[in-house]
Structure 1
Protein backbone atom coordinates (compact mmCIF):
# COMPACT_ATOMS: atom_id res chain seq x y z
CA UNK A 1 0.00 0.00 0.00
CA UNK A 2 1.28 3.43 -0.93
CA UNK A 3 0.06 6.66 0.64
CA UNK A 4 -0.49 9.56 -1.74
CA UNK A 5 -1.38 13.13 -0.98
CA UNK A 6 -4.77 13.61 0.60
CA UNK A 7 -4.44 10.47 2.74
CA UNK A 8 -5.86 8.19 0.06
CA UNK A 9 -4.35 4.69 -0.04
CA UNK A 10 -3.31 3.08 -3.31
CA UNK A 11 -2.88 -0.67 -3.59
CA UNK A 12 -1.06 -2.61 -6.27
CA UNK A 13 -3.08 -4.84 -8.55
CA UNK A 14 -1.24 -7.87 -7.17
CA UNK A 15 -2.21 -6.93 -3.61
CA UNK A 16 -5.84 -6.35 -4.60
CA UNK A 17 -6.01 -9.70 -6.40
CA UNK A 18 -4.59 -11.55 -3.39
CA UNK A 19 -7.29 -10.08 -1.16
CA UNK A 20 -10.03 -10.78 -3.73
CA UNK A 21 -8.85 -14.41 -3.95
CA UNK A 22 -9.11 -14.79 -0.17
CA UNK A 23 -12.64 -13.38 -0.21
CA UNK A 24 -13.80 -15.54 -3.15
CA UNK A 25 -12.28 -18.70 -1.68
CA UNK A 26 -14.26 -18.13 1.51
CA UNK A 27 -11.11 -17.77 3.57
CA UNK A 28 -12.50 -14.46 4.83
CA UNK A 29 -15.46 -12.16 4.29
CA UNK A 30 -15.18 -8.76 2.64
CA UNK A 31 -15.78 -7.13 6.00
CA UNK A 32 -13.10 -9.29 7.59
CA UNK A 33 -10.62 -8.37 4.86
CA UNK A 34 -11.42 -4.66 5.25
CA UNK A 35 -10.70 -4.90 8.99
CA UNK A 36 -7.65 -7.17 8.74
CA UNK A 37 -5.89 -5.12 6.06
CA UNK A 38 -7.13 -1.71 7.20
CA UNK A 39 -8.80 -0.96 3.88
CA UNK A 40 -10.89 2.19 3.96
CA UNK A 41 -14.22 2.30 2.17
CA UNK A 42 -16.89 -0.33 2.68
CA UNK A 43 -17.21 -1.09 -1.05
CA UNK A 44 -13.51 -1.03 -1.98
CA UNK A 45 -13.19 -4.78 -2.54
CA UNK A 46 -16.41 -4.89 -4.58
CA UNK A 47 -15.10 -2.04 -6.74
CA UNK A 48 -11.78 -3.83 -7.21
CA UNK A 49 -13.60 -6.96 -8.33
CA UNK A 50 -15.61 -4.98 -10.86
CA UNK A 51 -12.49 -3.28 -12.19
CA UNK A 52 -10.91 -6.73 -12.78
CA UNK A 53 -14.10 -8.09 -14.34
CA UNK A 54 -14.66 -10.54 -11.50
CA UNK A 55 -18.27 -11.25 -10.66
CA UNK A 56 -19.19 -12.35 -7.20
CA UNK A 57 -21.21 -15.55 -6.96
CA UNK A 58 -24.83 -15.04 -5.98
CA UNK A 59 -25.13 -15.60 -2.24
CA UNK A 60 -28.87 -15.28 -1.86
CA UNK A 61 -30.83 -18.49 -1.78
CA UNK A 62 -34.33 -18.85 -3.03
CA UNK A 63 -36.46 -21.37 -1.23
CA UNK A 64 -39.20 -22.83 -3.37
CA UNK A 65 -40.71 -24.96 -0.64
CA UNK A 66 -42.24 -24.22 2.68
CA UNK A 67 -40.43 -25.84 5.60
CA UNK A 68 -41.67 -29.43 5.91
CA UNK A 69 -42.70 -28.97 9.54
CA UNK A 70 -45.13 -26.15 8.71
CA UNK A 71 -48.76 -26.95 7.76
CA UNK A 72 -48.16 -25.54 4.26
CA UNK A 73 -45.01 -27.62 3.91
CA UNK A 74 -46.81 -30.81 4.90
CA UNK A 75 -49.60 -30.04 2.42
CA UNK A 76 -47.08 -29.42 -0.34
CA UNK A 77 -45.18 -32.58 0.52
CA UNK A 78 -48.39 -34.64 0.41
CA UNK A 79 -49.40 -33.03 -2.90
CA UNK A 80 -46.00 -33.85 -4.42
CA UNK A 81 -46.36 -37.50 -3.33
CA UNK A 82 -49.86 -37.62 -4.81
CA UNK A 83 -48.68 -36.16 -8.12
CA UNK A 84 -45.73 -38.55 -8.24
CA UNK A 85 -48.14 -41.50 -7.85
CA UNK A 86 -50.37 -40.12 -10.61
CA UNK A 87 -47.36 -39.66 -12.89
CA UNK A 88 -46.18 -43.22 -12.27
CA UNK A 89 -49.69 -44.53 -13.03
CA UNK A 90 -49.86 -42.48 -16.25
CA UNK A 91 -46.46 -43.80 -17.33
CA UNK A 92 -47.61 -47.38 -16.69
CA UNK A 93 -50.82 -46.80 -18.66
CA UNK A 94 -48.88 -45.32 -21.58
CA UNK A 95 -46.52 -48.32 -21.60
CA UNK A 96 -49.49 -50.72 -21.46
CA UNK A 97 -51.28 -48.96 -24.36
CA UNK A 98 -48.09 -49.00 -26.41
CA UNK A 99 -47.65 -52.73 -25.76
CA UNK A 100 -51.30 -53.40 -26.70
CA UNK A 101 -50.80 -51.60 -30.00
CA UNK A 102 -47.61 -53.58 -30.66
CA UNK A 103 -49.45 -56.86 -30.06
CA UNK A 104 -52.45 -55.81 -32.18
CA UNK A 105 -50.22 -54.73 -35.07
CA UNK A 106 -48.34 -58.03 -34.93
CA UNK A 107 -51.37 -60.32 -34.63
CA UNK A 108 -53.61 -58.45 -37.09
CA UNK A 109 -50.80 -57.55 -39.49
CA UNK A 110 -51.95 -53.93 -39.75
CA UNK A 111 -50.26 -50.64 -39.04
CA UNK A 112 -52.12 -48.84 -36.26
CA UNK A 113 -49.52 -46.21 -35.48
CA UNK A 114 -49.35 -43.42 -37.98
CA UNK A 115 -45.99 -43.15 -39.66
CA UNK A 116 -44.85 -39.63 -40.42
CA UNK A 117 -44.09 -39.00 -44.09
CA UNK A 118 -40.42 -38.67 -44.87
CA UNK A 119 -39.25 -35.38 -46.28
CA UNK A 120 -38.38 -35.65 -49.93
CA UNK A 121 -35.13 -34.15 -51.11
CA UNK A 122 -35.14 -31.19 -53.49
CA UNK A 123 -38.13 -29.41 -51.93
Structure 2
Protein backbone atom coordinates (compact mmCIF):
# COMPACT_ATOMS: atom_id res chain seq x y z
CA UNK A 1 0.00 0.00 0.00
CA UNK A 2 2.93 2.34 0.67
CA UNK A 3 4.40 1.71 -2.79
CA UNK A 4 1.16 2.57 -4.55
CA UNK A 5 0.71 5.83 -2.69
CA UNK A 6 4.32 6.82 -3.44
CA UNK A 7 3.72 6.30 -7.16
CA UNK A 8 1.39 9.29 -7.21
CA UNK A 9 3.47 12.04 -5.68
CA UNK A 10 1.93 15.19 -4.27
CA UNK A 11 -1.73 16.11 -3.90
CA UNK A 12 -3.68 16.85 -7.09
CA UNK A 13 -7.17 17.91 -7.92
CA UNK A 14 -9.43 15.11 -9.17
CA UNK A 15 -9.40 16.28 -12.80
CA UNK A 16 -5.64 16.10 -13.16
CA UNK A 17 -5.01 12.37 -12.66
CA UNK A 18 -3.95 10.27 -15.65
CA UNK A 19 -5.82 7.10 -16.51
CA UNK A 20 -3.04 4.93 -15.08
CA UNK A 21 -3.14 6.90 -11.81
CA UNK A 22 -6.92 6.54 -11.73
CA UNK A 23 -6.57 2.76 -12.21
CA UNK A 24 -4.07 2.67 -9.37
CA UNK A 25 -6.33 4.66 -7.02
CA UNK A 26 -9.35 2.49 -7.79
CA UNK A 27 -7.33 -0.71 -7.32
CA UNK A 28 -6.18 0.52 -3.92
CA UNK A 29 -9.72 1.42 -2.93
CA UNK A 30 -10.96 -2.06 -3.87
CA UNK A 31 -8.07 -3.97 -2.34
CA UNK A 32 -7.77 -2.22 1.04
CA UNK A 33 -11.55 -1.87 1.60
CA UNK A 34 -11.20 1.82 2.43
CA UNK A 35 -14.08 4.18 1.89
CA UNK A 36 -14.13 6.42 -1.14
CA UNK A 37 -13.79 9.48 1.06
CA UNK A 38 -10.68 8.10 2.76
CA UNK A 39 -8.99 7.34 -0.57
CA UNK A 40 -10.03 10.70 -2.03
CA UNK A 41 -8.65 12.60 0.96
CA UNK A 42 -5.41 10.61 0.80
CA UNK A 43 -4.74 11.55 -2.83
CA UNK A 44 -6.31 15.01 -3.14
CA UNK A 45 -6.49 16.38 0.38
CA UNK A 46 -10.16 17.26 -0.16
CA UNK A 47 -12.84 16.09 2.26
CA UNK A 48 -15.55 15.14 -0.25
CA UNK A 49 -15.15 13.35 -3.57
CA UNK A 50 -18.65 14.14 -4.99
CA UNK A 51 -18.93 10.82 -6.84
CA UNK A 52 -15.73 11.30 -8.85
CA UNK A 53 -14.36 7.83 -8.03
CA UNK A 54 -17.60 6.20 -9.13
CA UNK A 55 -17.45 8.13 -12.43
CA UNK A 56 -13.87 6.96 -12.92
CA UNK A 57 -14.91 3.36 -12.23
CA UNK A 58 -17.68 3.57 -14.83
CA UNK A 59 -15.40 5.23 -17.39
CA UNK A 60 -12.60 2.72 -16.89
CA UNK A 61 -14.91 -0.31 -16.95
CA UNK A 62 -14.86 -1.41 -13.31
CA UNK A 63 -17.78 -3.18 -11.67
CA UNK A 64 -19.59 -0.40 -9.80
CA UNK A 65 -21.67 -2.92 -7.83
CA UNK A 66 -18.68 -3.76 -5.64
CA UNK A 67 -19.16 -2.70 -2.03
CA UNK A 68 -16.82 0.27 -1.51
CA UNK A 69 -18.03 1.07 1.96
CA UNK A 70 -17.54 -0.58 5.31
CA UNK A 71 -20.71 -1.61 7.15
CA UNK A 72 -21.50 0.58 10.13
CA UNK A 73 -22.95 -2.17 12.31
CA UNK A 74 -21.54 -5.64 11.95
CA UNK A 75 -22.96 -7.19 15.12
CA UNK A 76 -26.24 -5.27 15.37
CA UNK A 77 -28.02 -6.48 12.21
CA UNK A 78 -31.06 -7.46 14.30
CA UNK A 79 -31.45 -3.89 15.55
CA UNK A 80 -31.37 -2.53 12.02
CA UNK A 81 -33.99 -5.04 10.90
CA UNK A 82 -36.31 -4.00 13.71
CA UNK A 83 -36.00 -0.35 12.76
CA UNK A 84 -36.89 -1.18 9.16
CA UNK A 85 -40.04 -3.01 10.24
CA UNK A 86 -41.09 -0.04 12.37
CA UNK A 87 -40.62 2.28 9.39
CA UNK A 88 -42.53 -0.16 7.19
CA UNK A 89 -45.43 -0.33 9.66
CA UNK A 90 -45.51 3.47 9.86
CA UNK A 91 -45.60 3.61 6.07
CA UNK A 92 -48.39 1.02 6.00
CA UNK A 93 -50.43 2.88 8.58
CA UNK A 94 -49.95 6.11 6.63
CA UNK A 95 -51.21 4.37 3.49
CA UNK A 96 -54.15 2.96 5.47
CA UNK A 97 -55.02 6.44 6.73
CA UNK A 98 -54.90 7.79 3.19
CA UNK A 99 -57.15 4.98 1.98
CA UNK A 100 -59.63 5.54 4.81
CA UNK A 101 -59.72 9.26 4.05
CA UNK A 102 -60.33 8.55 0.35
CA UNK A 103 -63.07 6.07 1.29
CA UNK A 104 -64.85 8.70 3.44
CA UNK A 105 -64.65 11.23 0.59
CA UNK A 106 -66.19 8.76 -1.86
CA UNK A 107 -68.96 7.85 0.61
CA UNK A 108 -69.87 11.52 1.07
CA UNK A 109 -69.92 12.00 -2.72
CA UNK A 110 -72.23 8.99 -3.02
CA UNK A 111 -74.63 10.42 -0.39
CA UNK A 112 -74.69 13.76 -2.24
CA UNK A 113 -75.44 12.02 -5.55
CA UNK A 114 -78.27 10.01 -3.98
CA UNK A 115 -79.77 13.17 -2.46
CA UNK A 116 -79.60 14.92 -5.86
CA UNK A 117 -81.37 11.99 -7.51
CA UNK A 118 -84.16 12.11 -4.93
CA UNK A 119 -84.45 15.91 -5.33
CA UNK A 120 -84.72 15.68 -9.14
CA UNK A 121 -87.31 12.91 -8.91
CA UNK A 122 -89.39 14.97 -6.44
CA UNK A 123 -89.08 18.06 -8.68
CA UNK A 124 -90.36 16.08 -11.68
CA UNK A 125 -93.29 14.68 -9.65
CA UNK A 126 -94.30 18.21 -8.55
CA UNK A 127 -94.00 19.58 -12.11
CA UNK A 128 -96.14 16.75 -13.53
CA UNK A 129 -98.90 17.40 -10.95
CA UNK A 130 -98.89 21.20 -11.28
CA UNK A 131 -98.78 21.42 -15.08
CA UNK A 132 -100.67 18.21 -15.87
CA UNK A 133 -98.03 17.00 -18.31
CA UNK A 134 -96.01 13.81 -18.44
CA UNK A 135 -92.28 14.47 -18.24
CA UNK A 136 -90.90 10.99 -17.57
CA UNK A 137 -90.57 8.63 -20.47
CA UNK A 138 -93.02 5.80 -20.30
CA UNK A 139 -91.70 2.27 -20.23
CA UNK A 140 -92.21 0.14 -23.37
CA UNK A 141 -92.82 3.06 -25.68
CA UNK A 142 -91.76 2.78 -29.30
CA UNK A 143 -89.66 5.51 -30.88
CA UNK A 144 -91.36 7.78 -33.40
CA UNK A 145 -90.91 6.83 -37.05
CA UNK A 146 -89.86 9.57 -39.38
Normalised TM-score (structure 1): 0.39
Normalised TM-score (structure 2): 0.33
Higher relative contact order (Cα pairs below 8 Å, separated by 6+ residues): 2
Find the structure with the greater CA-based Rg.
2
Higher helix share: 2
